Amino acid sequence: MAMTTKSTPQRAAEGAATRERPYVVTLEARLGTPASGKPPVRIFLGTQDEQGRAERVFFYAIERVRDPARVYEIHVMKNLAGYVRKGWRTGFTNYRFAIPDYAGRTGKAIYNDVDQIYTADPALLFDLELGDHGYLAVSANDTSVMLLDCARMAAWWNLDTATRGTKGQLLGRVKAQRGLWGPLEAGWNARDMEFVAGRSMLLHYTAMHTQPWHPFPKDYAYRHHPLGEVWYRLERAADDEGYEVFTRQRPSPQYREIIAQYRRSPGDDTGQPELPPAAAKLAAALDVQSVLRFDTPMLGRNAQLVAHSQCHPRESGGPGRATEQLPPHQVRGRLWTPAFAGVTTEIDQQAQPFDAVVAAGLLQRLPAEDVPWVLAEMFGQAGKLVYVAVDCQDGGSHLCARDPAWWRTQIAAAAARHPHVVWRLDAIDRNRRGQPTTVAYQSNLAGAKAATPPRIWVLAGPRAGDRSQLLALADSLGWPYEVKELA
């Protein structure tokens, strides 16, 4: 089968280098399972910001097939600093060639691109013997799945060569060394229609314009992938379980660093700010009586959580303003803020969720990896409304400076499990003249008032343009929907 060439847009990859090293997600042996005694399975994952959906399903697929008695260390290589990116076809092209150094030049390591899912335990790949070879792959040129001997490969692939050389140069050097490459069984890198259910151990979605999770909607008119349903089934299962890579109990490493900065910086109480006008208008329409609000006007200063109870948006503050609050000891609910994970103030353990949860100016200050679980917490606390305002403009204090469409995708994913909660996103961006402008997205207001959400089918045919318009229309409704493929 001819191999499909990848050509990933480089907008996000350039200028987004914020990490010196990969961060590690450790999957410990499951509780109640005796430890295997085998060394941890080390996996290095090449990815970029736009691949958030693919990352989550990659992790979830491993959780489904892994040995519960063994430890798995997944080193996420994303937004790494120091690389010359000229000529890269993805946002992570050369990261794989620095793995020997990232692994301490010792032991074995697996490399995976993010557009893959395991259908068999990756420990089976990790435990293969390399013999005299430095790396195993389906071909000397195809390094999208590899098993490496880090000590042996460090002479050719290391941080110095990876940050300065091109992919062609780095591959050419090792191909010139007889016996350095060794063949890997094809089932460990079944590319698109090479995949055979029950026999292949990994499915690799190589064709960019058919990847089921549509990471670059502005650059591709996406077409149906014949094996797309394999990926969608995994994502639906992850949704049903409420699975996230990171959670409030286990946030990302960078999140912990940010929280340490919060705790070292003195805060001051600036009182209870009013609701943003758009949030207040929706609160009035939905008869919102209580609001849980997250506010961080400045990172490291003024970090606070304000809970408004029995808000009456139409009273003395004028239309769209929430001015009446009961004293904190009378507020229903639990005071919790993602700025201080694990620090909560118990108000009433028997309380129901707040009617609305509002976060203005907070989420863009958090790592992108933590945005999904923070949004999940917000929707879990909200009975009627979630309102989010973010600043999409670049800035030193904005870790998560993404475009409005990225934020909309994140919120829609969290909202899918809460169809009765109305949501609105106000994203501050810049227009073509460089002036600030607000891009607003909002779910269907009537959906929250319906006894059950309507059943929506998208009848998708083979024409990519028609399909894109249909999916955009279904997304705009704000309700869950199913895609039915027409033959």
Q: Is the pLDDT of residue 449 over 70?
A: no
Residue type, 57: V
Mean pLDDT within 148-155: 97
Instruction: Encode pLDDT of 270-310 as tens digits.
Output: 444 577 889 888 988 888 888 887 754 333 333 333 333 33
Q: Is the pLDDT of residue 81 over 50?
A: yes
DSSP 338: G
Cα dist from 366 to 69, 133, 204, 258, 298, whole Å: 33, 42, 31, 8, 12
Strand-pair category, 190-191 with 202-204: parallel
Q: What global pTM score does this model have?
A: 0.78
d(CA 341, CA 59): 23
| Sign of the dihedral defined by the CA atoms of residues 444, 361, 248, 65, in that order | positive
Instruction: Encode pLDDT of 92-139 as tens digits.
Output: 999 999 999 999 999 999 999 999 999 999 999 999 999 999 999 999
Residue type, 324: E
Instruction: Encode pLDDT of 232-276 as tens digits.
Output: 999 999 988 989 999 888 888 888 777 776 665 555 444 445 778
Q: What is the pLDDT of residue 300?
A: 34
